[in-house]
């Protein structure tokens, strides 16, 4: 006896060649399956269409945020530039070129002294007192220069006293005071002080005109 073929057509073939409808419950199941397939395809299409504007909107928002960040950075740069210009203008007003004196501090090359503090006196008056952090000391050891003082003095000869406190490589405290003379002309005066410990072979305080 030949095996029966499974009928998948909604209309079954009769022995005479005509079609006879499938039972109602089977037709309903087939229709429901077709409807579910169509609905699934429609829903997927709608989701794709709906996600396209959202993706475009997110892209626009990212571009807008990027543009705002760039504008903020430009504004920050402008503010810093204006602040720097105002600072220079204020310095010119407070310290005219005819009376201005600026004093800078540097460390001798390869010096091992740990610089703790520097005090400056001009004509017996304390004008500056700096205490150095580890970060500032490291910057000086790498060749950095610190402007420790800017002010006004009259033209002529002046006495500069430099007091240095620190520690040597062996941990001993180190303190040194030096008296130096400089002359102020009718133009800005730049004085450089190069400091060194006793083990370096350099002068404790070397004065230079910068």
Both 182 and 109 in one domain: the answer is yes
pLDDT of residue 6: 44
Both 115 and 199 in one domain: the answer is yes
Both 82 and 121 in one domain: the answer is no
Domain residues for the domain of 148 are 100-209
- 44 or 137: which leads in pLDDT: 137
Count of the separate structural domains present in the chain? 2
> Which one-letter DSSP state was computed for residue 22?
P
Determine, yes or no, domain membership for 6.
no
Both 72 and 134 in one domain: the answer is no
pLDDT tens, position by position, 115-138: 999 999 999 999 999 999 999 999
CATH assignment of the domain containing 201: 2.60.40
pLDDT of residue 4: 47
Both 204 and 124 in one domain: the answer is yes
Determine, yes or no, domain membership for 105.
yes
Q: Give exposure, 121-130, as e/b (b: 16+ Cβ within 10 Å).
A: bbeeeebbee
Q: Which of 66, 94, 122 is the last residue of a domain?
A: 94
pLDDT of residue 159: 96
Determine, yes or no, domain membership for 12.
no
Facing residues of 149 across strands?
103
Both 88 and 109 in one domain: the answer is no
- 60 or 22: which leads in pLDDT: 60
With 50 as the cut, is the pLDDT of residue 15 above it?
Answer: no
Rounded CA separation 5/2 (Å): 9
pLDDT tens, position by position, 145-180: 999 999 999 999 999 999 999 999 888 999 999 999
Both 28 and 77 in one domain: the answer is yes
Q: Which of 62, 94, 126 is the last residue of a domain?
A: 94
Determine, yes or no, domain membership for 65.
yes
Most distant CA pair in the chain, distance = 134
- Cα angle 171-172-174, degrees, rounded to a multiple of 5: 125
Q: Which of 47, 64, 94 is the last residue of a domain?
A: 94
With 90 as the cut, is the pLDDT of residue 66 above it?
Answer: no
Determine, yes or no, domain membership for 110.
yes
CA-based end-to-end distance of the chain = 117
Determine, yes or no, domain membership for 2.
no
């Amino acid at each position: 006896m030949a095996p029966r073929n499974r009928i998948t057509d909604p209309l079954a073939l009769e022995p005479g060649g005509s079609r006879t409808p499938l039972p109602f419950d089977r037709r309903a199941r087939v229709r429901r399956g077709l409807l579910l397939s169509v609905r699934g395809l429609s829903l997927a299409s709608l989701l794709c269409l709906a996600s396209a504007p959202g993706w475009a909107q997110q892209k626009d928002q990212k571009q807008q945020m990027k543009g705002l960040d760039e504008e903020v950075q430009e504004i920050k740069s402008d503010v810093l530039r204006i602040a720097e210009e105002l600072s220079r203008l204020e310095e010119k007003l407070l310290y005219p070129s005819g009376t201005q004196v600026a004093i800078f501090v540097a460390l001798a090359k390869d010096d091992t002294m740990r610089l703790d503090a520097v005090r400056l006196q001009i004509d017996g008056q304390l004008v500056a007192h700096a205490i150095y952090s580890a970060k500032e000391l490291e910057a000086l050891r790498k060749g950095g220069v610190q402007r420790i003082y800017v002010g006004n003095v009259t033209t002529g000869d002046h006495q500069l006293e430099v007091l240095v406190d620190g520690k040597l490589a062996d941990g001993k405290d180190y303190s040194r005071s030096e008296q130096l003379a400089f002359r102020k002309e009718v133009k800005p005066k730049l004085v450089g002080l190069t400091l060194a410990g006793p083990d370096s072979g350099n002068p404790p305080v070397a004065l230079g005109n910068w």
